[in-house]
Structure 1
Amino acid sequence: MIEGTLADRRRLVTETLLVLGVSLGASAIWSLLSLLRKLTAPTPLAQQTTAMNTSRAPQRPWLDLAYQLADILLPLVPVLLALFLLAQHLPRPHQVMGLDLTRPAHDILMGLGLAAVIGLPGLALYLGARELGFNTTISAAGLPSIWWGVPVLVLAAIGNAVLEEVVMVGYLFTRWAQAGWSTAAIIVTSALVRGSYHLYQGFGGFIGNIAMGLILGVVYARTKRVMPLVIAHTVLDVVAFVGYALVAPHVSWL
């Protein structure tokens, strides 16, 4: 359904700004502030470390687990909000954006292919940006060695993928198209927002995630299926989080 009047289009854009304001748009603001803090610190950017998935209550593992699960589940509320808002105009919006299990083999194969296309160049970009002084060192997994560590990292990867791909692609692409935006404008704007909430990592993370957003945006524009994007993003984050936890203690270049 395409909204016809100027007032309707403005309302849809305002709605997207509000959804972003309680989710990834807010993350973009915090990310920018984090980058500014790091750039103005005495230590050069490349010598700083950005810690992710860290312990919240190190000496109390069950409380720490509760914190980790809350950190994963609460950011999914904007996903439900986005689907709820879309449902005001679209019956079964999850099916409209391809967030379903109707094509599992296709979605898995495409997701794995996208993960490979994005992941290897992304790692090279990160290492290059860090060597050039444009990025921090990313410590992707700072959880203690405990039985729930790896499952929580996997859940965090799934949560990140669902949040980002449903909101940044499925929801925003639908709403901005209804507001009359061109496909090119939608893809570029979504990619820029995606890059902006990764600025806390440095400029390498910013550029890398813009590139990722452009690739995923083009794929979604052609397929109208967000599920392969969720799978690709999940695979990338699982490799980053769990792989870092397993490999980082044994190598120096990460």
Structure 2
Amino acid sequence: MSAAVIPAPPTRRQLLTETALVLGVSLGASAVWSLLSLVNKLTQHVALNRQTTAMNSSVTPDRPWLDLTYQLVGMLIALVPVALALHLLTRDRADARYAIGFDLRAPGRDLWRGLALAAAVGLPGLGLYAAARGLGLNTTVAAANLSDTWWTVPVLVLSAAQNAVLEEVVMVGYLFTRWRRAGWSVLAVVVVSAMIRGSYHLYQGFGGFVGNLVMGLLFGWVYTRTRRVGPLVVAHTVLDVVAFVGYALLKGHVSWLR
């Protein structure tokens, strides 16, 4: 009987190629489309701050049941890169999900850390958005444009959670693990991850880029201290729930919301 062959550990080149491919089918591709969207907006004959960026839009508003199906399927497909990233990490370490803190081992601690992070990011982020719009550097972000049905708020909450899981598991848990193993310094990992995070928000304008770049730097620093993406997922979910649901509830009642 032949001895079992132990596969050689991945080389630096293989690790970097793998991360490029994962980004290429997920948030890296979003960054490319986001850049093109910004170029399109900048070359319009309308000022950037007079344009509107719509998010969470209905696909078939005249058929709510089909629209709900579109929304749910879209969220499930968007989570495939998360499953891919965890699968790739698990090939090297069976407890990879626990190693990056994507688990329920410390729910209370993750919750209060996440809420504190959301508070630290939320108000300054709103101020940055308002300033960027005032300076003509950002579009008006219409954060929720679903039909008014019984499932609108639950879908917006699920959309917020989906965004949080996708971004924090891939951009932090997965990339930090892979890039550190490839020999990158902690500073390089934090900065490059934050730059990519900012880039796939360029469709909103330069304010969206800067705000998410700063958020990425803060989240990256927190992760290097805690080694848990749990608090980041909580914080990101809370921020998006407030933005999405708050917009849906206040639209038509507040003058500066379109």
Which TM-score band applies after superposition, normalised by the shorter structure? over 0.9
Q: Across the two proteins, how many residue pairs are aligned to each other?
A: 250
Aligned to 1:60: 63
Aligned to 1:170: 173
Aligned equivalents of 2:236, 2:207: Cα separation in 1: 18
Aligned to 2:54: 51
Aligned to 1:218: 221
**Aligned partner of residue 102 in structure 1, secondary structure:** coil
**Aligned partner of residue 53 in structure 2, secondary structure:** strand
Partner of residue 239 from structure 1, selected from 242, 253, 256? 242
Aligned to 1:22: 25
Aligned to 1:124: 127
- Shift of residue 249 of structure 1? 1.6
Pairing 1:152–2:155 present: yes
Aligned to 1:73: 76
- Shift of residue 253 of structure 1? 2.3
Aligned to 2:15: 12
Pairing 1:229–2:232 present: yes
User: What TM-score do the two structures reach when normalised by structure 1?
Assistant: 0.97
Which one-letter code corresponds to 1:133 in the other structure? G
Aligned equivalents of 1:86, 1:202: Cα separation in 2: 34
Aligned equivalents of 2:17, 2:24: Cα separation in 1: 10
Deviations 1:146-166 (A, max 9, x none): 000000000000000000000
Aligned equivalents of 1:249, 1:97: Cα separation in 2: 42
Deviation >2 Å, runs of 4+: none
Aligned equivalents of 1:20, 1:27: Cα separation in 2: 9
- Shift of residue 58 of structure 1? 1.0
User: What TM-score do the two structures reach when normalised by structure 2?
Assistant: 0.95
Aligned equivalents of 1:105, 1:132: Cα separation in 2: 41
Partner of residue 96 from structure 2, selected from 70, 85, 93? 93
- Shift of residue 215 of structure 1? 0.3
Pairing 1:204–2:228 present: no
Aligned equivalents of 1:92, 1:79: Cα separation in 2: 15
Higher alpha-carbon Rg = 2
Pairing 1:252–2:255 present: yes
Aligned equivalents of 2:91, 2:148: Cα separation in 1: 45
Consecutive unaligned residues of structure 1, counting only runs of 5 or more, are: none
Pairing 1:135–2:119 present: no
**Aligned partner of residue 138 in structure 1, secondary structure:** strand
Aligned equivalents of 2:222, 2:11: Cα separation in 1: 28
**Aligned partner of residue 98 in structure 1, secondary structure:** coil
Query: Considering only aligned residues, what root-mean-square deviation do their CA atoms show, in Å?
Result: 1.1
Aligned equivalents of 2:45, 2:223: Cα separation in 1: 42
- Shift of residue 248 of structure 1? 2.4
Aligned equivalents of 1:13, 1:253: Cα separation in 2: 44
Consecutive unaligned residues of structure 2, counting only runs of 5 or more, are: 1-7
**Aligned partner of residue 238 in structure 1, secondary structure:** helix
Pairing 1:192–2:225 present: no
Which one-letter code corresponds to 1:144 in the other structure? S
Partner of residue 42 from structure 2, selected from 31, 34, 39? 39
Task: After superposing the two structures, state which structure 1 stretch, 82-91 or 232-241, moved more.
Answer: 82-91
Deviations 1:208-251 (A, max 9, x none): 00000000000000100000000000000000000011112211
Which one-letter code corresponds to 2:34 in the other structure? S
Aligned to 2:3: none
